[in-house]
């Protein structure tokens, strides 16, 4: 099933063009990896899909499950089933993790927390390798790098989105932590879900069942392929591939 369709998308930030004529189609069950040199537009693409108001669509459309979502807010897109794991995870003093999850359930899922919600929290924390004590700590405050990433994955597990966007979730993690995070991801990525992953790490791509690889340069999608495209880049770098692009 076609889940996300990006058609001729161009985007500005502060009147500067950051994406130019992007075309990408993502179906349920697929894992897409976005590659490219620093500043090529990878994070801009993820922010545009989420609907960050700093990113102004100047041309083209974003469709989610056949519905044009250009004019929807980030919250409205989240309710549709789009979730973004940020590269830098925010710490929020004064808000416990448990209370944050309660607010998510109300705001995104439009459901009132009940006894079943409270009873399910312990298992969800355990499933991602976090301790019950994390529930009553302020959101991400004092968490290690790996715990912060698991915190994002817990939110994802909690919201059960249809499209998962991961912006360098491997940033700052060692090999063991990356494998742990990828193991959780593989459990979440069922056939009715899809993922867009921004990463530079070979370990992440090797751990996940990647179906499509896209290479961005200067805000344009200059090459699309499968895992062989990543293998080529991993062997030869970007310079030969992007020469003249």
Q: Can you list the residues of the chain whose pLDDT is less than 70? A: 1, 86-90, 113-115, 172, 243-245
Q: Tell me what pLDDT residue 86 has.
A: 65
Q: For the segment 66-75, what is each residue's pLDDT rounded down to a tens digit? A: 999 999 999 8
* Stated pTM of the model: 0.86
> With contact defined as beta carbons under 8 Å apart, do 165 and 82 qualify?
yes
Beta strands (DSSP E) in the chain are: 2-13, 16-27, 31-35, 56-64, 67-68, 82-85, 92-96, 138-139, 163-167, 194-198, 212-217, 220-225
Single out the residue of 16, 9, 12 nearest to residue 49, CA to CA: 9
The tokens describing 103, both together, are: 């607010």
Q: For the segment 147-181, what is each residue's pLDDT rounded down to a tens digit? A: 877 888 888 877 888 999 988 877 767 788 788 77
Report how far apart, in Å, the C-alpha atoms of 43 and of each of 19, 52, 146, 202, 217 are.
10, 11, 21, 18, 12
**All domains in the chain, ordered by first residue:** 2-87+143-242 (3.40.50.300)
> With contact defined as beta carbons under 8 Å apart, do 33 and 86 qualify?
no
Q: Tell me what pLDDT residue 159 has.
A: 81
């Amino acid at each position: 099933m076609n889940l996300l369709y990006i058609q001729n998308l161009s985007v500005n930030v502060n009147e500067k063009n950051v994406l130019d004529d992007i075309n990408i189609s993502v179906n349920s069950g697929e894992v897409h990896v976005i590659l490219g040199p620093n500043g090529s537009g990878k994070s801009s693409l993820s922010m545009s899909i989420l609907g960050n108001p700093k990113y102004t669509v100047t041309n083209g459309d974003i469709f989610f499950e056949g519905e044009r979502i250009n004019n929807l807010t980030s919250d409205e897109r989240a309710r549709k089933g789009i979730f973004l794991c940020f590269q830098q995870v925010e710490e929020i003093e004064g808000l416990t993790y448990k209370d944050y999850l309660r607010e998510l359930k109300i705001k995104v899922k439009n459901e009132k927390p009940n006894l079943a919600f409270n009873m399910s929290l312990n298992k969800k924390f355990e499933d991602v390798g976090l301790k019950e004590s994390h529930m009553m700590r302020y959101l991400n405050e004092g968490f290690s790098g790996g715990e912060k990433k698991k915190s994002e994955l817990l939110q994802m597990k909690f919201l059960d989105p249809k499209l998962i966007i991961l912006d360098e979730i491997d940033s700052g993690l060692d090999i063991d932590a990356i494998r742990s995070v990828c193991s959780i991801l593989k459990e979440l990525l069922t056939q009715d879900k899809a993922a867009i992953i921004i990463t530079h790490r070979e370990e992440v791509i090797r751990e996940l069942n990647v179906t499509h690889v896209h290479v961005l340069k200067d805000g344009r999608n200059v090459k699309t392929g499968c895992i062989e495209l990543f293998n080529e880049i991993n062997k030869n770098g970007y310079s030969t591939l992007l020469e003249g692009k």
